[in-house]
Chain A
Amino acid sequence: MADPVFVGIAVLTVGSAIISLESRELIYGAIALAISMLGIAGFFILLDSPFVAMFQITVYVGAVAVLVIFTVMLVRTQALFSKREDKGRKSAGFVLMLILMTGMGSLIIVSGINTKTFGSPKSPAVDFTAIGKQMLTYYSPALILLALTLAGAVIGALALARREEIAPKNERTD
């Protein structure tokens, strides 16, 4: 049904997503998350959208992964969290995951998503000049708002993480 490249990337993505949540050390989890994002970028290349794939690699594998790894180094704590998860909640979460997978999966399989309504994979690929055109004409207010949001978020994160910001009266001693 699907070709081997697709299956390989799917196994890589899903497997490293599981590893990122279940690894014992948080830093290995961060690296596995970056590999999972790389797998998603591989899917984007398979879907003939190399521009979005490069953006994904730049933002996720480049910026977000480095940010997460630095945070993991900063908040290094001696406690291992896997020991303190109770078994009941873990099995309940697993059952919830299986229910979601089978429920949503069977819903999608019986929904006839592969019929003509949603086009076909043989339709012409989107040229990335079209993306630029859309972004600078119809979506230009959204682009400006996005730039403002990013600037606000970065300044907010800097203000949050500033060390002088915490007055001694807010410091908890417990």
Chain B
Amino acid sequence: MHWLVERRLHQKMNELIDYVIVSVVLVAIGIYGIVVKRNAVRMLFALEIIANAANLNLIAFSRNLSNAQGQVFALFSIAIAAAEVAVGLGIIIIAYRLYKEIDVEEFKSMRG
């Protein structure tokens, strides 16, 4: 942990815009994944990347405004994302059982 304290003393502060730019890049990658990929699990990966970019934004703004509510909201967001992953993977497993396939373009009769 000593290097962390050392770094904290001599660091150049990272500005808010650096984190926002990283977040924008992650959102763009996630949208690319959702548009291009046909594998349902990979689309779920892309959703996770977008959710994490949003969390990064929340924490960055919370740090700069020194406001605890951003962190509370990020915690809620992470927990909700975990629930969403559980349900999404359950749906993928049942779709695989029905179609023997996780290609979303093969799910032609989702109407039931």
Which A residues form the contact surface with B (CB < 8 A)? 1-3, 5-6, 10, 13-14, 17-18, 20-21, 26, 29-30, 33, 36-37, 40, 43-44, 46-49, 51-52, 55-56, 59-60, 63-64, 67-68, 71-72, 74-75, 77, 79, 81, 84-85, 89-90, 92-94, 96-98, 100-101, 104-105, 108-109, 113-114, 118-128, 130-131, 133-135, 139, 142, 146, 149-150, 153-154, 156-158, 160-161, 166, 170-172
Contacts and interface: CB of A to CB of B under 8 A. Distances in A.
A92 B32 CA distance: 9
Contacts of A133: 68
Nearest to A154: B86
A26 B39 CA distance: 9
B42 A97 contact: no
A161 B28 contact: no
Contacts of B66: 119, 123-126
B14 A2 contact: yes
Main secondary structure of the interface of B (DSSP, over half): helix
Contacts, number: 257
Contact of A100 (B28, B46, B89): B28
Interface residues of B, number: 78
A163 to B, nearest CB: 8
Given A121-B64, A134-B72, A160-B91, A59 B78 contact: yes
Given A64-B85, A114-B15, A118-B64, A51 B29 contact: no
B93 to A, nearest CB: 5
A47 B59 contact: yes
A46 B14 contact: yes
Contacts of B72: 131, 134-135, 139
B73 to A, nearest CB: 9
Contacts of B24: 100-101, 104-105, 108
B94 A84 contact: no
Contacts of A160: 87, 90-91, 93-94
A49 B62 contact: yes
Given A68-B89, A170-B98, A56 B78 contact: yes
A142 B13 CA distance: 34
